Amino acid sequence: MRCSIKTLFESVVRESAPPDRPTASGGAASPQLAAATKDIKRHTSSASVHRLKLVLLIVGIVIATVGLLGALYGIVAASTAQTEYDFFCPGGQMPPQFCASLLSSVSSYHALTVGMAIFGVVGLVLTIAALAMKGPLFAAAAPTFAPMYMPPVPPAGTVTSRTCPKCERTNRWADRFCSACGAPLF
């Protein structure tokens, strides 16, 4: 007897699931209720995925922008310090401490450039990861709905219609208000 893992799992879940909620007629709840419950759970998990995707995208873009701007600043500052060193120091007209501090700042700005470039790459990776996630970037507005419950069924042998006390029109037993005048059917 061949049995797939999926069918085995479904049979175990079916056996361990609590019994359905009984309805007014004493039977089990409708399959529509189960389907509506699944739709609600699926929509909830889908909304959290969309939120996670959007947050990852925003964080990735911000980190990438900060990293790339920091790396650009490091390059410009290192180039400026190197230009000052090349202009003032080779002729020996500046004190050696000034030339040493210029070389130190060039080294520091190069380290800043490398660090900020790594920071920018991390931001790009986060952005790409967010874009690679399944589903649309912006989720459609979530429809708000309540699960559809079957209307209560009257006990056997009872009247299946109601008469409006105001206009005396005959309405279905499950109606709460008159279909002609709108008066409550209580």
Taking CA atoms, 101 is separated from 13, 78, 84, 106, in Å, by 72, 12, 11, 9
* The two three-digit tokens of residue 178, written as one number: 């008159």
To the nearest whole percent, how much of the chain has pLDDT over 70?
Answer: 65
143 to 32, 82, 86, 131, 146: CA distances (angstroms)? 18, 61, 67, 25, 10
How many Å apart are CA 62 and CA 91, to the nearest integer?
44
Find, among 66, 63, 74, the residue nearest to 114 by Cα. 74
Q: What integer pLDDT is reported at residue 49 of this predicted model?
A: 73
pLDDT at 37 over 80: no
Q: Taking 80 as the threshold, does the pLDDT of residue 115 lie above it?
A: yes
Calculate Rg over the CA atoms of the chain: 36
% of the chain exceeding 90 in pLDDT: 31
Provide the pLDDT for residue 74: 95
Q: What predicted TM-score, i.e. pTM, was given to this entire model?
A: 0.50
Band of the pLDDT at 22, cuts 50, 70, 90?
A: very low
147 compared with 101, residue with greater pLDDT: 101
For residue 26, the model assigns a pLDDT of 46
Tell me if 144 sits within 8 A of 43, measured CB to CB: no
Among 109, 115, 67, smallest CA distance to 84 is for: 109
Grade residue 58 by pLDDT with cuts at 50, 70 and 90.
Answer: very high
- Phi and psi at 162, nearest 5°, equal -125, 145
